[in-house]
Amino acid sequence: MFSFSRENTSSLAKWWRNIDKQILFLFTLLFLLGLFFSFSSTSSIAAEKVNKETYFFFIKHLIFVSISLSLMVIISIQNKNNLIKLLPYLFFISVFMLFLIIFFGVEVKGSKRWLNLFFLPRFQPIELVKPLFIIFVAKIIVMDEKTNLYRRYLYSFFILLLIITFLINQPDLGQSLLLTLSWITMIFVSGFNMIILTILGLVFLGSIFLLIFFLPEKFGYIYLRLQTFFDPKSGDNFQSEKALDAIKQGGLTGLGMGEGILKDKVPEAHTDYIIAVISEEFGAIFVLMIVMIFLFIGYKVLNKVFLEGDEFLKLALVGLISLLIIQTFIHIGVNTRLLPTTGMTLPFLSYGGSSLIGSSIIAGIILNFTRKDSSR
């Protein structure tokens, strides 16, 4: 009979003894909650809008979650040193895939963010790039101390700039903003001068305004979204208004499972507006619970950071958890009209294979890096 006792020296037994079980449980819980909400939010879409079987999207989501959970465990069980050596190579492959979108990208609703290769299902390379970018930046910042620290920051900034260039071409300002904020968090934690950091932030904002001004045909949508955000009467605010109405309708306890109407009125409600769908059907209490799960994961990871002696692991963990927390609050901010529309999914919970795989990579690396020494 299989046992996880100390007498068992198999890789799986060692993994179970040394993994942070609280973080593992919370990541798994988020995946399963996403599956549950998918059951509620996609059945009517499949039946009425795309003429599919009632549980078509739910079954697809179930397959994505199964793959994601497996990938999370596979990554978390790997030898830490081997994984650290492998991840930078995977980063270059993912960036190359992001580059290929220019030539082989599939345009959906005015944005070319999807890659459709003959041997792979359609996916968004940026979901692979994000966690690997964090690891690569951490490697650059803690690289050979003989290299000037500010030069290392500059190298990491050039990598960020390269990725943002590809993203802006799609265009995808939301992911550009997310990566920039995560990068700023990492270099701030590493001891970067706040004055220079503020200047870089202003340069980034200035660059966005210049893009809108000089390339209105490609980036004019950013101006329109900002305009309708500050002045709702000046443009089409249908999706964000319906999302906010749904949250108000749900109140504290919600209308009940399947009783919400947002999923039938707003396109992609099960992805970009999933938190509003959850709030409408299950209430603000459920939303608060989800936020608390993310914050508790952040708390647990940062506790590990304070106890960690390896500077690379510290920086990588800070970057990965900032990626999750920032994306979560951007999603909630858009759903509650506290932020302009960005098309940002909610990690672990939104429908979509690319988003779930990206979340599983982040979770797997965090679990691997927070694992106790395997000799124990």
Please report the pLDDT score of residue 170 as a whole number.
73
Structural domain span for residue 92: 33-192+237-369
Query: Looking at the domain assignment, is residue 214 inside a domain?
Result: no
Q: Which residue has the tokens 């709030």?
A: 279
Please report the pLDDT score of residue 9 as a whole number.
65
How many angstroms separate the Cα of 150 from the Cα of each of 147, 154, 232, 274? 9, 6, 43, 41
C-alpha triplet 115, 133, 143: angle, nearest 5°:
150
Select from 113, 97, 95, 116 the least CA-distant residue to 163.
Answer: 95
Q: Is 350 helix (H, G, I), strand (E, B) or coil?
A: coil
Q: Is 113 helix (H, G, I), strand (E, B) or coil?
A: strand
For the record, the structure tokens of 199 come out as 């200047």
Query: Looking at the domain assignment, is residue 288 inside a domain?
Result: yes
Select from 190, 179, 146, 181 the least CA-distant residue to 311.
Answer: 190
Phi then psi for residue 211, to 5 deg, are: -60, -40
Within 8 A by CB and 6+ apart from 27, the residues are 72, 297, 348, 363, 366, 367
Query: Looking at the domain assignment, is residue 252 inside a domain?
Result: yes
How many angstroms separate the Cα of 39 from the Cα of each of 55, 162, 283? 7, 39, 17
Please report the pLDDT score of residue 42 as a whole number.
61
Report the C-alpha gap between 361 and 364 in whole angstroms: 5
Strands 111-115 and 105-108: what pairing?
antiparallel
Please report the pLDDT score of residue 290 as a whole number.
94
Query: Looking at the domain assignment, is residue 220 inside a domain?
Result: no
Query: Looking at the domain assignment, is residue 376 inside a domain?
Result: no
In this structure, the dihedral spanned by the alpha carbons of residues 363, 364, 370 and 371, taken in order and rounded to 10 degrees, is 140
Q: How many domains does the chain have?
A: 1
What single-letter amino acid sits at 181? Answer: L
Query: Looking at the domain assignment, is residue 256 inside a domain?
Result: yes
Query: Looking at the domain assignment, is residue 218 inside a domain?
Result: no
Q: pLDDT tens digits, the chain, 376 residues: what are they?
A: 455 556 666 777 888 888 999 999 999 999 999 988 887 766 555 445 555 566 777 888 899 999 999 999 999 999 999 999 999 999 999 999 989 888 877 777 667 787 877 666 778 899 999 999 999 999 999 887 666 777 888 888 889 989 988 887 777 778 888 998 999 899 888 877 777 777 777 777 777 667 666 666 666 666 666 666 666 665 556 677 777 888 888 888 888 877 777 776 666 667 788 888 898 889 999 999 999 999 999 999 999 998 888 889 999 999 999 999 999 999 998 888 877 777 788 999 988 888 999 999 999 999 999 988 754 4
Query: Looking at the domain assignment, is residue 211 inside a domain?
Result: no
Please report the pLDDT score of residue 46 as a whole number.
42
Alpha helices, DSSP H, located in 266-352: 274-282, 284-307, 311-335
Please report the pLDDT score of residue 296 as a whole number.
96
What single-letter amino acid sits at 21? Answer: K
Q: Which residue has the tokens 């919970």?
A: 349
